[in-house]
Structure 1
Amino acid sequence: MVEDGRSSLREVPILDLKNMKIISPLGRGAKGVVFLVRTEFPYKEFLALKVISKASVENKAVSRSKNDDYVFKRICIEREILSRLHHPLLPTLRGVVETEQIIGYAIDYCPGRDLHSLRKKQTENMFSDDSIRFYAAELVLALEYLHGLGIVYRDLKPENILIQENGHLMLVDFDLSTKLSPPKSPQNLPITTKPDPSKEEKKNKRLLCLPRCWNSGVLPTEETLCSNSVSSEHSSGSTTAAKSNSFVGTEEYIPPEIIQGNGHEFAVDWWCLGIVLHEMLYGFTPFKGSNRKETFHRILNKSPDLVGEQTPLRNLIRKLLEKEPSKRITGEEIKGHDFFKGVDWKSISEISRPPYIPPVCDKDLNGNNEIDVEMFVNGVFKDENDKSLENVKKTDNCNQILEFKGYHEANPFFVF
């Protein structure tokens, strides 16, 4: 590996499904199903394996007559981004899987579920200022690292912020991310190290027990938007651009410049951070309307109602939710804001007692059923008009698929 961690690609192991124990499905997204798996070689550890049906991808690509390779590009970009990450608050690409029917990749498994479900456990569904400060500081560090690599995340929301077994955050799901030219004067970001998995077997004992119906804790969210114009950022044939003209994001979190379609860059992530902080402080997002049109109108024209006394946190949220991206607070200005006064930015990821640490699970997660991953994923993404799954073998897998599909039709959510 090249020593410059800002641009190097790690050599990623090729994984074999035969060497994995499929514990259970965790949830589904727009393109794949995520499984909790246990590897057997070269050492035992629990991972989250995102599996995408090739047939499903091909069908979606065909439906986009002007962008036939759109979905394939998104998969390749996400995989490339994951292979570049080397930071304790971001996932490591542990390996890839490919067969004639599926494409998959494995990342770290986070037993603490996500920030959305953790907020729901708080008094009145709101975090304390001290908890917000800790989580906000970790998000600033994660986004700053990504921006230094030229990566715009573009989908920051509580459902994509997971809790690791040590209580620190992990930002996942780079499905909507894009690559732009890095900032003109990026900081020299340190290459941070993660523990050697082979020396961390105790990690397996800290897994949170799997909840019913394989729910990963990611609860229903607003519709994730993705227009055909997303391909415009690559129209020149280059992997970088000054700005992106894509229309992507999750409805309540989309910044004004994406709605206006005038091009956007790294400032969109700081807007989303402002929405997340507002949600952590008040228990709801600031611009949600009764429908998409009203939500977008509020994002473009309404100022956030920051009810309560003027505090450094409310001041920071207001500066993050500046509608003009060139005036929006970013990077070093955020780290120097009064809300973070006294924060030691170099040691945040080493804090031993974060606000919440997932409880130890004594249950042995060996899995109760043999799951055929290929059959399961193809069954989940089978044509929605075909409810019978007639071409799927009538086995325990079929019953699991029907239960899984039925549960997620009633309780839709996205994991990755």
Structure 2
Amino acid sequence: MDNGGNALDFGNLKVVSALGRGAKGLVFLAKTYEGQWLALKVVSKALIRMRNSSHRKRVSFEQQILRRFNHPLLPRLRGVLETEELLGFAIDFCHGGNLHSLRRKQSEKTFTVDAIRFYAVELVTALDYLHNIGVVYRDLKPENILIQESGHIMLVDFDLSKKLNPKSPQSVSAMSSPSSDSALLLDRRKRLLPGFCYCHSGVIPLDSDSQLGMNSPARSESDSVEKSNSFVGTEDYVSPEIITGEGHNFSADWWSLGVVLYEMLYGMTPFKGVNRKNTFQRILTKQPDLTGETTPLKDLIKKLLEKHPDRRIEVDEIKCHDFFKGVNWNSVLQIARPPYIPQNDIEDKAGFSRKDVESFVHKVFFKNDSHKEDKTKETEKKKINGANRNNIYDKNQNTVWVNKLTEKPTKNGDFLVF
């Protein structure tokens, strides 16, 4: 298969089971008739029509960005799929699950320092590649860090990513004045953080000795590119500058790396609050609790979790940090030995038809509506439950049977505002 050149359909693809869901789509395990295992991500066209054109643009953007990748730690587009009701695309399937599930399998629900170093090196390498092609990832979290059959990582899910363009005099001028979109984002943040006062530069605590960056030196690897003002990410991992709306660029990914490393070391995220609003407040005001003796890893985390992006450690300093002493960055992928090699134990089951998959996707996102385009109310509400993992769709009961998909994705998931 070439890199995205193939059109997929249910005539050359067998859908085996559901793997998980997001706010806008579902991911299935599928197999080509040549024997290649794929992760197939699909979205409902009806859901796109209900919302706005940006959702279709995000699907298109993700496909375009996957076509650009040529890196062993990033996915490749293996084909695209379209039916009357679905849009989708496929990437290679990762046999080892994700870093979140792997951490929870550890005896103390944390990784050893050596394991953290291995995954950290690969994360820095992958993010450095993305930044070099002008892409800010914006959704780094353990659930998006998959383990390949080889034991190496693969970053997935790029629908929140953004291409940052080089600055021009016109773009600098435009960024200096607030737009109507910025006003909408500001209003959203006011509702999330009512205890803060706002100005065009962002959010400032009312007791305001902790104003960010009033006299900080301008130092950023990304000074030459535009900044994004999108309010986007996953709440535990989002950087302060995204919350405040001051504009963010590649440095936001290094903040998220600090959160991921903290979680790998301590088994929890550093700023988790009782709700989203409280989490955001803690991200803006609280310092990470790096308990125990000082170590190079804790020092790296502290420098990654610097609240002002212009003072945050970036790629050259990260690679030279004591935690990575002795790492040969030019050959790390050739000589590194992964701490975990997954077992290839995929169960090859009977496939599901196009109609089964379309009906399944529809019932996940339109539980109270019929399958028809006019969305007439069903006489009875269908209930999603997780009684049986082995069947994604029971034709007799007409019910979804995937317990991974019962939780609403917004419970601890992504938020997205353009």
TM-score normalised to the size of structure 2?
0.76
Match of 1:213 in 2: none
1:367 aligns with 2:389: no
Given that 1:376 and 1:397 are in contact with CA atoms closer than 8 Å, whether structure 2 keeps it comes out as no
Q: Secondary structure at the match of 2:8?
A: coil
Q: 1:294 deviation in Å?
A: 1.7
Q: Secondary structure at the match of 1:17?
A: coil
Match of 1:60 in 2: 51
RMSD between aligned alpha carbons? 2.8
Q: 1:324 deviation in Å?
A: 0.7
Give identity over the alignment, percent: 55
Q: Distance in 1 between matches of 2:142 and 2:81?
A: 28
1:219-258: CA deviation from partner (whole Å, max 9, x where unpaired): xxxxxxxx9759xxxxxxxxx9611000011111111101
Q: Secondary structure at the match of 1:365?
A: coil
1:292-344: CA deviation from partner (whole Å, max 9, x where unpaired): 22211111111111001111000000000001101100111101110000112
Q: What letter corresponds to residue 292 of structure 2 in structure 1? A: G
1:255-308: CA deviation from partner (whole Å, max 9, x where unpaired): 110111011100000000000000000000111111222211111111111001
Q: 1:86 to 1:397 in 2, by over 3 A?
A: farther
Given that 1:24 and 1:367 are in contact with CA atoms closer than 8 Å, whether structure 2 keeps it comes out as no
Aligned mate of 2:239, from 252, 255, 278: 255
Match of 2:107 in 1: 123
Q: Distance in 1 between matches of 2:145 and 2:259?
A: 13
Q: Distance in 2 between matches of 1:138 and 1:349?
A: 8
1:80-129: CA deviation from partner (whole Å, max 9, x where unpaired): 11111111000000000112211110001011000000000112111000
- Rg comparison, structure with higher value: 2
Q: 1:414 to 1:79 in 2, by over 3 A?
A: farther
1:246 aligns with 2:230: yes
Q: What letter corresponds to residue 90 of structure 1 in structure 2? A: L
Match of 1:27 in 2: 20
Q: 1:409 deviation in Å?
A: 3.5
Given that 2:82 and 2:88 are in contact with CA atoms closer than 8 Å, whether structure 1 keeps it comes out as yes
Q: Distance in 1 between matches of 2:26 and 2:283?
A: 32
Match of 1:145 in 2: 129
1:118-158: CA deviation from partner (whole Å, max 9, x where unpaired): 00011211100000000000000000000011100001000
**Mapping for residues 383-398 of structure 1, pairs under 5 Å:** 383-384=367-368, 388=380, 396-397=394-395
Q: Distance in 1 between matches of 2:331 and 2:338?
A: 12
TM-score normalised to the size of structure 1?
0.76
Q: Secondary structure at the match of 1:79?
A: helix
Given that 1:93 and 1:107 are in contact with CA atoms closer than 8 Å, whether structure 2 keeps it comes out as yes
Q: 1:18 deviation in Å?
A: 1.0
Q: 1:279 to 1:409 in 2, by over 3 A?
A: closer
Match of 2:189 in 1: none
Which ranges of structure 1 fall in alignment gaps of 5 or more residues?
1-8, 62-68, 185-226, 231-239
Match of 2:402 in 1: 404
1:286 aligns with 2:284: no
Q: Secondary structure at the match of 2:60?
A: helix
Q: Secondary structure at the match of 1:74?
A: helix
Aligned mate of 1:334, from 297, 318, 343: 318
> 1 or 2 for the larger relative contact order (CA 8 Å, sep ≥6)?
1
Match of 2:178 in 1: none
Match of 1:354 in 2: 338
Q: Distance in 1 between matches of 2:40 and 2:412?
A: 17
Aligned residues: 342
Q: 1:228 to 1:271 in 2, by over 3 A?
A: same
**Mapping for residues 156-305 of structure 1, pairs under 5 Å:** 156-181=140-165, 229=185, 242-305=226-289
Which ranges of structure 2 fall in alignment gaps of 5 or more residues?
169-182, 187-223, 370-376, 383-392
1:342-392: CA deviation from partner (whole Å, max 9, x where unpaired): 11212222246310010232x6513365562222212222254767468xx
Q: 1:114 to 1:10 in 2, by over 3 A?
A: closer
